[in-house]
């Protein structure tokens, strides 16, 4: 393997950032000063290669400290991990939050995605850019969804240093965004997570299951969590054993809440039964679908529930190590989860002997860095392992060969926290909530043209109209986007659609991860569709031709017809249909397969270009 290192050297600060993560180098082969012993033999190569999964944390370490990743820093990190620099460059340039070109230490990410676009993101960007301008020491970057849709428009300031400092401005004004970028420590504190739950503190809050503790418990207090029923489910899990946990989850009818709706019990049973070891558990908290923010609210408002549910899942599938893959754009969720994991570990709820039951389990957080595709499970595995976040071909499936080539169970945050009520109330009681095919409660992310945006918990089977009544639709409703950018539009006369996986499927749309974006008649629909196309073109990993080329052609066609309608656009609409079918039929993963959905539904159901 020819590593082909360059002559660039890291600065002392870059070297310190990497050494803080990896420890000091042991020999000149890793970048230390050369000794006589180093001339006689090479050492540490195999151990270094086994640490390739630290490439992404290493890139974060440099980017956090300096603000960008220089050639010298990248070369030094590659020497430490024995990674070819060309491969590491491919990883570093894969993620939107990293830069391999010099830029100011402070970056202001201004969201321009769907909810924020409808709330005036373009005017916000223009105002911020005019105020800051060149020479301000701040780089203003237009960003995909920041997961702050209930407080749109939103901005996130990141100021590199030791330590890195962040500030969220949402809802953002030009003045607030400039303050966050100029002085993150002086920016106003974010509102509590409970403000994202309109049902909290209102009549019926006591009926909530998944959100019952948000706004009630102190998210930093393990004792408060336990006083409100925390760790009852884990004790029940130890009482019935791994097979009993899987049986309860299966009998409850729990399916994945990320959009695929695969039965969770079947996934766990398939992982647990694999003879190859070790087994791994991965929690996918990289919710990057525009309009999605439910996992953030759970992690910010009830972080110990995720720690407990990951421990139960690990116990059920025979895993002793769990990875929490957390969005890089969620600084407060990161802080809350790091604290919760540390407290659980200190109190014997994680570690070598969980609750004195002889079961060892621990959780490691891995930060994403701005890549929608890493929400796909195998792309997420590649990202953790230190490769570009590109999806793998299946089979083999993750339950056979997942993370590090070992059996792996992967679930998102909402799916995992559903395990707690299943074990505390029992499978039959849980299955009685919702419908026969879609059991239990569901979290919905409602934003856009509504009076009370936020996370709503309803049993499966409630209608779209009921949900929008709770949220309070403003002005005259033009359309509702279900499932986010990868979902589909429905008309205002279709609000009786039952919010179940089977109900939305019969209606010719999708429930997805639970995104509900309402748009009134002031929102320019053609411009919205163009933003969706831009999103998919930008987020395509480029691995397969149908998606790599198709997303570009889709955006080009929408650019051509955005100012033309009727017969003049007919040829481009025909082209869009042809390209959409090709992406849906031949793309390797769900990104390309769903990139045409929203545009297709807008043309067919809303008459977007008539």
Give the integer Cα–Cα distance in Å for 570 and 566: 7
Give residue 204's pLDDT.
53
Q: What is the pLDDT of residue 200?
A: 84
How sure is the predictor about 40, in pLDDT bands with cuts at 50, 70 and 90? low
The tens digit of pLDDT for each residue in 322-366 reads 999 999 999 999 999 999 999 999 999 999 999 999 999 999 999
**Cβ(84)–Cβ(69) below 8 Å:** no
Q: Answer yes or no: are the C-beta atoms of 273 and 318 closer than 8 Å.
A: no
CA 377 to chain centre: 11
Nearest-Å Rg of the Cα atoms of the chain is 24
Instruction: List 564's β-bridge partners, or say none.
Output: none
What's the rounded Cα separation, in Å, for the pair 399 and 583?
27
Following DSSP, what letter does each residue of 13-62 receive, concatenated? HHHHHHHHHH-S-SSGGGTSPP-GGGGT---SHHHHHTTGGGHHHHHHHH
Residue 554: the pLDDT is 96
**Greatest Cα pair distance in the chain:** 80
Order of all β-strands in the sheet with 408-412: 362-367, 319-326, 279-285, 408-412
Are the C-beta atoms of residues 56 and 386 closer than 8 Å to each other?
Answer: yes
**Residue 330 is encoded by which pair of tokens?**
């969620």
Concatenated DSSP letters for 243-254? Answer: HHHHHHHHHHT-
Determine the length of the chain. 610
Which whole number is the average pLDDT over 570-574? 88
Of residues 512, 200, 208, 147, the one with CA closest to residue 333 = 147
Kindly give the residue spans of alpha helices, DSSP state H, lying in 216-290: 222-227, 232-252, 264-272
Q: Cβ(471)–Cβ(583) under 8 Å?
A: no
Residues 466-510 have pLDDT tens digits of 999 999 988 799 999 999 999 999 999 999 999 999 999 999 899
Rounded average pLDDT over 153-178: 96
DSSP-assigned states of every residue in 534-581:
HHHHHH----SHHHHHHHHHHHHHHHHHTT--GGGGHHHHHHHHHHHH
Mean pLDDT of 540-567: 88
Residue 258 has pLDDT above 90, yes or no: no
Tokens of 489: 């539009």
8 A C-beta contact, residue 389 and residue 377: no
Please determine, for residue 38, whether its predicted confidence score (pLDDT) is greater than 70.
no
- Beta-strand runs (E) in 222-368: 279-285, 319-326, 362-367
Q: How far apart are CA 177 and CA 155, in angstroms?
A: 6
Return mean pLDDT, the chain: 93
| C-alpha–C-alpha distance, residues 603 and 375, integer Å | 27
pLDDT band at 1 (very low <50, low <70, confident <90, very high): very low
Tokens of 223: 């004792």
Angle at alpha carbon of residue 152, lines to 558 and 159, rounded to 5°: 100
pLDDT-based confidence at residue 608 (cuts at 50, 70, 90): confident
Q: Side by side, which strands form the sheet with 454-459?
A: 454-459, 441-448, 515-520, 477-482, 488-490
pLDDT of residue 6: 77
Could you tell me how many helices (H) and strands (E) the chain has, helices first?
Answer: 25, 13
Q: Which two tokens stand for residue 202?
A: 């209102």
Under DSSP, the state recorded for 400 is T
């Amino acid at each position: 393997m020819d590593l082909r290192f360059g002559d660039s050297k890291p600065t002392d600060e870059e070297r310190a950032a990497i050494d803080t993560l990896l420890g000091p180098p042991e020999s000149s082969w890793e970048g230390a000063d050369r000794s006589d012993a180093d001339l006689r033999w090479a050492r540490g190569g195999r151990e270094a290669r086994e640490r390739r999964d630290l490439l992404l944390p290493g890139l974060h370490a440099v980017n956090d400290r300096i603000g960008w990743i220089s050639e010298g820093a990248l070369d030094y990190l590659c020497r430490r991990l024995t990674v070819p620099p060309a491969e590491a460059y491919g990883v570093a340039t894969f993620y939107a939050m990293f830069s391999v070109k010099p830029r100011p230490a402070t970056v202001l990410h201004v969201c321009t995605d769907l909810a924020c676009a409808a709330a005036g993101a373009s005017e916000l960007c223009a105002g911020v850019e005019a105020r800051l301008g060149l020479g301000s020491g701040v780089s203003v970057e237009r960003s995909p969804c920041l997961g702050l849709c209930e407080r749109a428009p939103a901005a996130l300031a990141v100021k590199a240093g030791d330590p890195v400092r962040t500030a969220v401005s949402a809802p953002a004004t030009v003045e607030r965004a400039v303050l966050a970028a100029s002085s993150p420590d002086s920016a106003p504190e974010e509102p509590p997570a409970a403000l994202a739950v309109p049902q909290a503190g209102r009549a019926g809050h006591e009926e909530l299951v998944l959100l019952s503790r948000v706004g009630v418990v102190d998210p930093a207090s393990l004792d408060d969590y336990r006083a409100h029923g925390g760790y009852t489910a884990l004790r029940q899990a130890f009482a019935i054993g791994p097979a009993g946990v899987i049986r309860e989850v299966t009998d409850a009818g729990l399916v994945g809440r990320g959009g695929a709706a695969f039965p969770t019990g079947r996934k766990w049973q398939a992982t647990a039964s694999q003879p190859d070891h070790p087994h791994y558990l991965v929690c996918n908290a990289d919710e990057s679908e525009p309009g999605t923010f439910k996992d953030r609210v759970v992690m910010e408002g009830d972080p110990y529930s995720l720690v407990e549910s990951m421990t139960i899942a690990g116990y059920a599938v025979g895993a002793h190590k769990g990875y929490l893959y957390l969005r890089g754009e969620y600084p407060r969720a990161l802080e809350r989860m790091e604290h919760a994991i540390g407290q659980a570990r200190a109190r014997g709820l994680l570690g070598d002997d969980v609750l004195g039951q002889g079961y060892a389990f621990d959780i490691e957080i891995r930060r994403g860095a701005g890549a929608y595709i890493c929400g796909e499970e195998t792309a997420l595995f590649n990202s953790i392992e230190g490769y570009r976040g590109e999806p793998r071909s299946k089979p083999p499936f993750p339950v056979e060969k997942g993370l590090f080539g070992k059996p792996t169970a992967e679930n998102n945050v909402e799916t995992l926290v559903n395990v707690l009520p299943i074990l505390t109330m029992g499978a039959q009681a849980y299955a009685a909530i919702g419908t026969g095919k879609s059991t239990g409660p569901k979290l919905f992310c409602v934003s856009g043209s509504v009076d009370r945006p936020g996370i709503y918990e309803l049993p499966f089977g409630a209608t779209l109209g009921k949900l929008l009544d709770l949220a309070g639709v403003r002005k005259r409703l033009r359309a509702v986007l279900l499932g986010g950018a990868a979902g589909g539009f429905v008309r205002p006369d279709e609000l009786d659609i039952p919010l179940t996986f089977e109900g939305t499927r019969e209606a010719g749309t999708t429930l997805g991860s639970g995104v509900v974006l309402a748009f009134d008649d002031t929102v320019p629909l053609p411009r919205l569709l163009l933003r969706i196309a831009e999103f998919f073109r930008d987020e395509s990993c480029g691995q397969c031709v149908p998606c790599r080329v198709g997303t570009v052609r889709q955006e080009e066609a929408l650019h051509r017809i955005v100012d033309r309608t009727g017969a003049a656009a007919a040829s481009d609409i025909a082209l869009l249909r042809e390209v959409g079918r090709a992406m849906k039929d031949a793309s390797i993963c769900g990104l390309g397969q769903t990139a045409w959905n929203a545009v297709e539904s807008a043309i067919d159901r809303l008459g977007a270009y008539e």
